[in-house]
Structures are given as structure tokens and as C-alpha cells.
Structure 1
Amino acid sequence: MKTPLYTALSQHAEKKPYSFHVPGHHNGDVFFDEARVYYEPLLQLDVTELVGLDDLHHPTGVIQEAEDLLAQLYGADQSFFLVNGTTVGNLAMVMATCSTDDQILVQRNCHKSVFHAIELAGATPVFLETEVDNKLHVPTHVTEETLKHAIARHPNCQAIVLTYPNYYGHAADLSKLVQTCHEAGMIVLVDEAHGAHFVLGGAFPPSALSYGADVVVQSAHKTLPAMTMGSFLHLQGERIDAKRVKTWLTMLQSSSPSYPIMASLDVARAFVEEIKEKGQVNEIMRGLSKLKDQLKRIPHIELVESDSLSNDPLKCVIRSTRGLTGYELKKVLESVDVHPELADDHQVLLIFGLGKMRDIPFTSIEHALQHSESLLIGMEHRQIESASIEIDQQRQGMEAVPFEEAEGRISAESVIPYPPGIPLMIKGERIEADQIATLSRLLEHQVHVQASQVIKQRKLYVYIEEETR
């Protein structure tokens, strides 16, 4: 299986070259001894734009070859390696399609990076409410009826941003949505962060590219064996200006892109391609089924799936049958060093890999669940964490108010539980009672929330509307 970039890097490292260039560790010769044992092999690949290793921002050699192989695998007209995660892909695709005062349709449960992109572009979002899965109690997808109603009210929208699948792996059929948007003259942008593996087919849902989306961004590091921050961006069709997207990627990404991350993307593509060529998808499915069967045999938990949408087999949602919230169940699992992806009020989300993983300590999990009550009582209370995003209290036009006074006010900041990174409250949005109630529950369960520090005092920043009239 071809891995042009990784092969070029490994061949360069095998020559034991002398480094008189950046980065400052000089192929690992200069490094902190205590950390060397973990970093040393990787540092040999951590180089810069040397002869034969190409340039991400103007690829003509091995990076271009690797990206061409990526496009061939995914059936895209053009594909790009991203070293700043799907975040930079979302930023680039929105800013390439929208300008100041343009309207753009946005699925309400989009990732925070989409809202950041819209703010940077100066565009105006038109929110599309999503359906809610009755079994998992999480937002899922936009219906065709909701979309057509929004287009009728806002016929001049330039583009639409859809999230597919949702964080829990629920994948709705996008064919009619894409067709409706294209008929209305809109560019379809899809954040497919959790669907980079859908290209494998079989029991996996279809890729958004197969539905005809114009731009699709995928987090290869989420479900493929790529390094963190490694993502793909795919283009197809004539509706999107490829040069404009590429320009924004060049402007938004580091001018010193990580070669280990790029090489891991090259390797991840080869990994997926090999699975397809060797017909190993069914074998992977059997392994996933066996793993879920073992989880089902553990007392005091149950597996939960949507019964109305396609479910990604790599996602597994478990619940306590003894009345534990998802947050409490997560703490129980973490007590035996089993770390899930996220928790919510009801359940915990596990993400499996595309291959054999280390043996799971089922016995330890079972024991921890049997003693969950005493375990949770005995856990040391941890201070609620929040991101250090500071807003000047003297900033004109906003004030911090207690939660109980925030209902009906316009939020002056976004409040984002992380993960999943979907804003609970969006800057510029009127705050509703149920949002405050949800935030209170999150804080009670010590969920990590990205917001200003005043949230620790159960306060929110809101705009002073009297001063803006």
C-alpha cells in the first residue's frame, strides 16, 4: 500500500541526517532526557520543508501524491490534509462561501468551530432546529420539512452547514436535503468529523460525499488511526470555489505544519484502503459485535441504540440500570482507568477502534459497578473546571448576572460543554429557562464547561439591551 509522505520521511530518517535546521530538537539530538523515551522515535520524523519532503501549502511532490491518493479513496475531486483539526476545515469552508451580512443555514447542534467561522466571516446564521432521538434524548438531524420552511423564509442563503453524523453516531439520509439545497442554489457544507471511516461501506452509514455534499470535513484522528489534529477536507462538484478554499486553508493553518501529523494522515488513508482491498470490513464488524456482547453481559449496564436512524457501529452508548446518571457512570469507569469519550445526563458514549484493541478489564468494570454507591460517596470533591476565557467586566454593553436573572436576556458569550463542543448557549442568542437548568446540572456533575470565569459564581454574561437601543 502506497504511503508517499510517510515513506519519504522514514527514508530521510534512516539516513541519520545532520540537522542544521528547525525544529530545535534537531532530529531528537537535543531533548529533555526524562522525556526522550517516549518522544525519540517520533522526533526523527518531525522535520521541516526539506528537499524531497514537499510543502503542505504548495504541494508538488510527496504531499501532493498522498492527497491525490486520499481523493481517489474517498471519491472526491480534490482532498487536503489538515493539521489544525476539523476546526480549521470548518473555518475554511464557511469563510470560503460566506461574506459579511450573507445568510447561512446552520444546524443548531453544530460544533463551536462552525459558529466561530460564521462570526469571523461576518455572516448571519439562520438556525435549523433538529429532531431529538426519543431513546437517547440527544439532538440528531434536520428534517426535510424544517429545511424547506427555512428556505422559504430565507431564500437568499448562500450555504448550509450540516453535522453528519451526530456525536453519538446517528446518521440520517441526506439525499433529499442535499438535493433541496442544490435546487435552491446553496452550497452544502458537511461537518463529518465522526465519519471518516464511512468510506468503508458495509454496515457503516454512507459518506456525505456519496450524498452529493460539496465540501466535507472529517476528523481522521477521531475514528481512524491518525494523530490528534489530523483531519481531511474533501471537495466535489463545481459549486465550490476550490482556489478560495485552498487560500483560506493557507491563511488559517500553521506555516510550519507538523510532518508527523501529515504522515499519520497518509498512513491512516493506507490503513483504510487496505481494509477495503482485503475485504476486512465483515471481520471488523464481528469483532465489534463480540465486544458489545461482552459489555451486555456486565450486570448493571445496558446498551442503547437509536431505533429511528442508522447507527455507526464504532459508537456504543451504555447506561446504568441502577439509576446512575451518565456523569456518575463515567466516574465509576474512570475509577478503573476506563476512559469513555463523554457522558450526559442519561448515558456514556464509548468509541471503538477499527481493529483489535487491548483487552478490556470487564471484571474490574463489573466490580466497580457493584460498589458504585460507596465509590461515588468516597470520591474526593473536585472543583468545577471552566476554561480561562476572560471577558472584561467593564466592557461596554454587557454585565454578569446570576443564573436566575439570565432568562430572556441575550447571551454575550457562548457556553460550551466540552466534549462534545456543541454550544449550549450561543453568543447573541436569547437565554431560555431550560438552558439554564441544563447548565446547572452540568456544573453540579462537574462537567467541563468552556465559558468565562464568572460561571463559577453561577453567573452569565449578557448584553445590556437598554444601552444598545
Structure 2
Amino acid sequence: MKTPLYTALVHHAEGNHQSFHVPGHHNGDVFFDEARTLFESILKIDVTELTGLDDLHEPSGVIKEAQDLTSELYGTKESFFLVNGSTVGNLAMILSVCGPGDVLLVQRNCHKSVFHAVELSGAQPVFLTPEVDDALDVPTHVLQKTVQDAILKHPSAKGLMLTYPNYYGHAVNLQPVIAEAHKHDIPVLVDEAHGAHFILGRPFPQPALEAGADAVVQSAHKTLPAMTMGSYLHLNSGRINRDRLKHYVTVLQSSSPSYPIMASLDLARAYAEEIIKSHRITKIEKGINEIKEHFFKIKGLEIVEPADPGVRQDPLKLCVRSLHGHSGYELKSIFEANGVHPELADEKQVLFILPLEGKSRLTPELIRKIEKGIDHWPAAKQSRSRIELPIEKITTLPFEKSVLSSLKKEAVPLSRAAGRISAEQVIPYPPGIPLIMAGERITEESISQLSRLIDLNVHIQGGVHLEDKQITVYIEEE
């Protein structure tokens, strides 16, 4: 299997070259001795744009060849390597289609980077309220009818921004929604951060690219064996200006991109390609099911699947819930106390991301320890209401940014925040989806959920006064 960038880096490392260039560790020659053993092998390929190693921002050699192989695998017009994560891809996609005042249709449960992109572009967001799964009580997908109505109200929209799958691995048939947007020549942008492995085919859901999305960003580091921050950005149609997209990819990415991260993207693509060509997917599916069987054996747990028959569950995502009344956060602590680290927890359940391959398994002894923890860990008494999203399927912010920028701010107790306009983002992390967005009117439901999360000591980004149970809002009247 070809790995042009990785192979070039290995040949360079084996050449015993003298380093009189950045980075400052000089091929690992200058380094903190206590960490040398752990780092030294990767430092040998942590180089810069040397002769023969190409340039990410104007690729013409091994990086271009590696990106072209990625494009060939995913069937795109062009694919780009991202070393600053899918965040950069979301920013670049939105900036490439939107300018100040342009309307962008946005799925409300998108990642925070999408809303940062909206802010940077100056676009006017129109939020599309997703459906909520009855079993897991998490937002999933946007209905075709919602998209139809949004386009009817905003026919001049410059783009439709979707998340697929959601963080919990819930996927739906995107083709009707994408076709609806394309009827009006509206490009569809998809944050497929958790779906880079969908290219492997069944049992995994259909990739957004195959469904017709115009541009897609994927976090190769989430489910393929790439290093953290390694992502792909795919261009799939002429509805998006390629030069404008490339411009923003260059502007937003580091001018000193990490060669180890880029090499891992080259290897992750080769890994996926090798699975397909060797017809190994059946064996992989069997291994995933074996891991799940270990979780099935844990007494006191139940596996939670989406209730909507139209939603497909990514086999790599596994949600478990306590049968003894523990919150997801308490259950996560029980697992972590036994050396098992999940991806995230919410009020009701714990989410695990399973490996495509590897040796991770729950031994009988470990299962017994987890069962003992579930039996002996007292479940806190707490109210757990359902997630509340806007009743309206299509919503907008009450004021434009130019108006908000002229208003003063104040911190108020959460008990008096409902009805006020938030002046800050409040983002439980993970999953990084804003609970309250800056510029939106705060509801009683969001305050109730936020109060519960604070009481559960959930990690929240934003909200500088939340530890005092206060939130910053705009002063609308003097």
C-alpha cells in the first residue's frame, strides 16, 4: 500500500542528516533527557519543509500524492490534509460560502466550531431544530420538511450546514435533504467528524459524500488510526469555489504544519484502503461484536439503542445506562475507577467509542470489578427531565451582531436569566455542542438543564460566572 509522505519521512530519518533547521529539538538531539525515550522515535520525523518533503500549503510532491490518494479513496474532486482538526475544516467550509449578512441554514446541534465560523463570517444563522431520539434523549437529525420550510422562508441562503452522524453515532439517509438543497443550488456542508470510517462500507452507515454532500470534513483521528488533530477536508462539487476554500484552508492552518500528524493521515488512509482491498471488514465486524458482548455481560447495565427506526447506529458507538439509577456521570466515574475510560457521559448514559481493531477487551476479572462498583456506588437522587429544544423548527437570533455589540452586559443569577439574551456561549464539553449560544434568548428549559449540569460538576466551557451560578447577559433596556 502506498504511503508517499510517511515513506519519504522514514527515508529522511534513516539518512543520518545533520539538522541545522527548525524545530529546535534538531531531530531529537536536543531534548529533555527524562522524556527522550518516549519521544525520540517520533522526533526523527518531526521536521520542516525540507527538500523532498513538500509543502502543505503549496503541495507538489509527496504531500500532494498523499492527498490525491485520499481523494481517490473517498471519491472526491479534491481532498486536503488538516493538521488543526476538523475545526479548521468547518471554519473554511463556512467562510468559503458565506460573507457578512449572508444567510446560512445551520443544524442547531452542530459543534461549537460551526458557530465560531458563523461569527467570523458575519453570516446570519437560521437554526434548524433537530429531532430528539426518544430512547437516548439526545438531538439527532434534521427532517427534510424542516429544510424545505427553511428554504421557502430563506431562498437566498448561501449554504446548509449539517452534522452527520451526531456524536452518538446516529445516522440517517441524507440524500432527500441534500437533494432538497440542491434543487435551489444551495451547497450542503457536512461536519462528518465521527464518520471517516464510513468509507469502509457496511455495517457502517453511508458516507455523506456518497449521499451528495458538496463539502465534508472528517476527523480521521476519531475513528481511524491518525494522530490527534489529523483530519480530512473533502471537496465534492462545483457549487463551492475551490480557490476560495483553499484560500481559507491556508489562512487558518499553521504555517508550520506537523509532519507526524500529516504522516499519520497518510497512514490512516492506507489503513482504510487496505481493509477494503483485503476484504477484512467481516472480521472487523466480528471483533466489534465481541467487544460489545463483554459489555452485555456486565450486570446492572443496559445497552441503549436509538428508538427511531429511520436512524442507523454506527457500530463503533456504544451507549450504556445504569439499571440502578446512576447518572451517566456517576457511571463514567465507576468505569474510570477501574481503568476503563469512555468517550463521554451525559445525564443518563455513557458513550464508548470502540476500536476498529486492536486488543482492547474487558476481562472477566474487570467485569466483576465494574459490577461491584455499580452495586456499591450510591446513586445520587436527582431529577432528570427530558432535553428541551425549541418547539419552532426554524429559529433566528433576536438581534444582529451589530446591534448586540452596542449593548452593555451584566452578570445575573441563573434564576433571573430566563428571557434575557445570553452574552456568552455555554458549552458542555464533550460533546462541544452549545447549550446556550451567545445572542440567543435564554429559556427556562436551558437554565434548568444548565443548573443540573452544574450540580453534577460537569465540565463546561464558557460561562465565566457559572461557578457562582450566574450568567452574562445583554442589557436591552437602560
**TM-score (ref. length: structure 2):** 0.92
Contact 2:144-2:176 at 8 Å conserved across structures: yes
Aligned AA (1:194): H
Amino acid at match of 1:357: K
1:417 to 428, 432, 437: 428
1:279 corresponding residue in structure 2: 279
Equivalences for residues 208-247 of structure 1 within 5 A: 208-247=208-247
Per the TM alignment, residue 332 of structure 1 is displaced from its structure 2 partner at its CA by 0.4
Distance 1:431 1:22 in 2: 49
**Matched residues in 1 for 2:345 and 2:226: separation?**
24
Q: Distance in 2 between matches of 1:362 and 1:184?
A: 56
Match of 1:391 in 2: none
What is the distance in 1 between the residues matched to 2:444 and 2:415? 9
1:399 to 387, 406, 410: 410
Closer/same/farther in 2, CA of residues 419 and 236 from structure 1, 3 Å limit: same
Indicate which of 289, 313, 316 corresponds to 1:314. Answer: 316
Question: Take 1:375 and 1:428, find their aligned partners in 2: how far apart are those partners?
Answer: 41
8 Å Cα contact 1:295/1:362 also seen in 2: no
CA distance in 2, matches of 1:86, 1:52: 27
Match among 432, 452, 456 for residue 445 of structure 1: 456
Contact 2:316 2:354 in 1 (8 A): yes
Secondary structure of the structure 1 residue equivalent to 2:232:
strand
Q: Does the aligned pair in 2 maintain the 1:332–1:369 contact within 8 Å?
A: no
Q: Does the CA-based 8 Å contact 2:80-2:234 persist in structure 1?
A: yes
For residues 468 and 364 of structure 2, the distance between their equivalents in structure 1, rounded to whole angstroms, comes to 40
Whole-angstrom CA distance in 2 between matches of 1:402 and 1:134? 32
Aligned AA for 1:371? Answer: G
CA distance in 1, matches of 2:467, 2:16: 52
Following superposition, the deviation at residue 374 of structure 1 comes to 4.4
List gaps (5 residues or longer) in structure 2.
381-405
* Deviations, residues 287-324 of structure 1 (Å, cap 9, x unaligned): 11111112101101111111421110000011111111
Q: Which amino acid aligns with 1:101?
A: G
User: Aligned with 1:399: secondary structure?
Assistant: strand
- Post-superposition shift, 1:365? 4.1
Q: Could you report, residue by residue, the CA deviation over 1:64-84 in whole angstroms, capped at 9, with x for unpaired residues?
A: 000000000000010000000
Amino acid at match of 2:32: F
Paired position in structure 2 for 1:332: 334
Conserved in 2, the CA contact under 8 Å of 1:398 and 1:463? Answer: yes
* TM-score normalised over the length of structure 1: 0.94
The percentage of counterpart residues that share the same residue type is 56
The AA in structure 2 aligned to 1:340 is P
- Correspondence list, 1:96-111, <5 A: 96-111=96-111
2:407 touches 2:474 (CA, 8 Å); kept in 1?
no
- Stretch deviating more after TM superposition (60-69 or 432-441): 432-441
2:419 paired residue number? 408
Encode CA deviations 1:245-296: one digit per residue, 9 max, x unaligned. 0000100000000000000000000000000000011111111111111210
Q: How much has 1:363 moved relative to structure 2?
A: 2.7
Q: Describe how 1:160-309 pairs up with structure 2 within 5 A.
A: 160-307=160-307, 308=309, 309=311
Distance 1:361 1:435 in 2: 41
1:376 and 1:52 map into 2 onto residues whose CA distance is 60
Counterparts in 2 of 1:92 and 1:237: CA distance versus 1, 3 Å: same
CA contact (8 A) 2:298 2:371 kept: no
Pick the aligned partner of 1:348 from 336, 340, 350: 350
Match of 1:13 in 2: 13
Q: What residue identity is the alignment partner of 1:301?
A: L
SS in 1 for 2:160: strand
Question: What is the aligned counterpart of 2:466 among 455, 459, 462?
Answer: 455
Does the CA-based 8 Å contact 2:325-2:379 persist in structure 1? Answer: no
Task: Look up the SS of the partner of 2:472 in the other structure.
Answer: strand
Aligned residue pairs total 451
Deviation at 1:377, TM superposition (A): 8.5
SS of the residue corresponding to residue 208 of structure 1 reads coil
How far apart are the structure 1 equivalents of 2:33 and 2:330? 39
Distance 1:234 1:462 in 2: 38
Match of 1:385 in 2: none
Cα deviation for residue 396 of structure 1 reads: 6.0
